[in-house]
Amino acid sequence: MARSGPSRREVIKGAVGVAAGAVAARLADAMPAGAQPPAAPPVVPIDPTRVTGGPTTAVGSRSPFVQPSRAPVGLTEGTSKTPLQLLSGTITPSDLHFERHHGGIPLIDPAQHRLLVHGRVAHPTEFTLDDLKAFPPVTRPHFIECAGNGREAFRKPRPDLTPQQVDGQLSNSEWTGLPLRDLLAEVGMDAAATWLLAEGGDAARLTRSVPVWKALDDALLVYAQNGEPLRPETGFPLRLLLPGWEGNINVKWLRRLELGTAPWMTRWETSKYTDPLPGDTARRFSFEQDVKSIITTPAHPEVLRPGPRIIAGFAWSGRGRITTVEVSTDRGATWRPAALVGAEHPKSVVRFTLPWRFDGRETILMSRATDETGMIQPTRTEWRATRGPGSDYHYHDIRAWKVAADGTVTFANGEVWA
């Protein structure tokens, strides 16, 4: 802070010298790699109080100085990632929710959409959206995370990875819908039913088996997200939400639920989403996302100036509430508890923050979260010892960032756990 610094008049005078080219260069610096550059650099008035501003609009747009993108390295088929390093608070803006689909995003007319519930039920029923909205609604914040989130960073922990590239298949929303148990009561589920099959209405017709105990616990059928209808890429007009469970089982574009007495062993739970373990065994149905955290600032590609700043990031657990997030600013030698926002909500992203001063000396920053079941984030070595070399999902080992003496920040998991 410039105590007794330049007067406002001097600042205004200074701004005269800012050419459009310099603005464009600064914009490009601030943009994540792969983001589309603006069509033209914004023409900023020397003094915005001297010119009439823009009009009201039917639907708003971001400032031209804010250009987020879900495509850190160009768009790939079926996957995009939330730019975690650009977020504040706990909510992921709906248009930046990560995407994962296997047959493209279907275009569905909500007035035509139906949910069929059948199998081991007394009253097989087809529900319209209006039918579902006549059940008492609930609203709760929950994260959704891809089972494979972190894989790229685990396999190839390159120094130039950003938080988005490391863990961007994670998003958090305020969801609105109905408890699945209310729907199952309505159709008269058989007492013998122990599993249900959920089927999506996309070209992949993704199907997953869900134990009935989860359906009767905290499962929801959701039709709204952050105050508005679901977005097409998050399941419009209807998705299954199994709080804390791996992303793919939260079936999007939900069109069918079948009640039965055994899992269906679909290809989405045999060829995919099963973890090989040491000793020729495997974890089947590894539903819960494990406790995890990541510092999102400072992080690559930030360059720090010496002085006070905030270390901040996200923590979450599929098993319940986050109780503690500890931050180390000395390569794991000592740990301090961070302040938490949103920790009252189970299976929802928590924002953690800790004031810190960068003194111009190289160091390594880390975070580790603990949840209410006592689970704590492992080191990579501990994780590998338990899960073995074949594991292909649920990478939740401690993430580390190296701050060099010149202030450059790089992803340090390759160095720390080498």
The span from the CA of 208 to the CA of 102, in Å, is 14
The span from the CA of 74 to the CA of 162, in Å, is 14
In the region spanning residues 345 to 404, those forming contacts with a second copy, defined by CB under 8 A, are 351, 353, 355
Choices 226-234, 270-278, 328-336, 395-403 (CB under 8 A): range interacting with a second copy: 226-234
Give the shortest CB-168-to-a second copy separation in angstroms: 12
Give the shortest CB-209-to-a second copy separation in angstroms: 19
Q: What is the DSSP letter of 391?
A: -
Q: Transcribe 179-190 into DSSP letters.
A: EHHHHHHHHTB-
Measured CA distances, 404 to 384, 393, 416 (Å) = 28, 31, 14
Number of CB atoms found within 10 A of residue 355's CB: 10
* Number of residues counted as binding a second copy (CB under 8 A): 122
Give the shortest CB-158-to-a second copy separation in angstroms: 22
> Taking CB under 8 A as the rule, does residue 336 contact a second copy?
no
Q: Residue 153: what are its φ and ψ, rounded to 5°?
A: -70, -30
Number of CB atoms found within 10 A of residue 174's CB: 17
In the region spanning residues 70 to 129, those forming contacts with a second copy, defined by CB under 8 A, are 70-71, 75-80, 86-97, 99, 101, 103-112, 114, 116, 123-128
Comparing CB distances to a second copy, the nearer of 124 and 390 is 124
Is the Cβ–Cβ distance between 218 and 177 less than 8 Å? no
In the region spanning residues 196 to 215, those forming contacts with a second copy, defined by CB under 8 A, are 201-203, 205
What Rg do the C-alpha atoms of the chain give, in angstroms?
A: 24
In the region spanning residues 232 to 251, those forming contacts with a second copy, defined by CB under 8 A, are 232-233, 236-237
Measured at the CA of 367, the angle between CA 366 and CA 370, to 5 degrees, comes to 150
Which of 38, 174, 190, 331 is close enough to bind a second copy by CB under 8 A?
174
Specify the pairing of strand 207-211 against strand 254-260. unpaired
In the region spanning residues 18 to 47, those forming contacts with a second copy, defined by CB under 8 A, are 18, 23, 26, 34-36, 42-45
Number of CB atoms found within 10 A of residue 134's CB: 11
Which of 53, 279, 374, 389 is close enough to bind a second copy by CB under 8 A?
53
Which of 131, 190, 382, 392 is close enough to bind a second copy by CB under 8 A?
131
Which of 65, 285, 335, 417 is close enough to bind a second copy by CB under 8 A?
65
Give the shortest CB-375-to-a second copy separation in angstroms: 25
Q: What is the DSSP letter of 229?
A: E
Which of 39, 40, 51, 418 is close enough to bind a second copy by CB under 8 A?
51
Which of 21, 39, 40, 49 is close enough to bind a second copy by CB under 8 A?
49
Comparing CB distances to a second copy, the nearer of 107 and 333 is 107
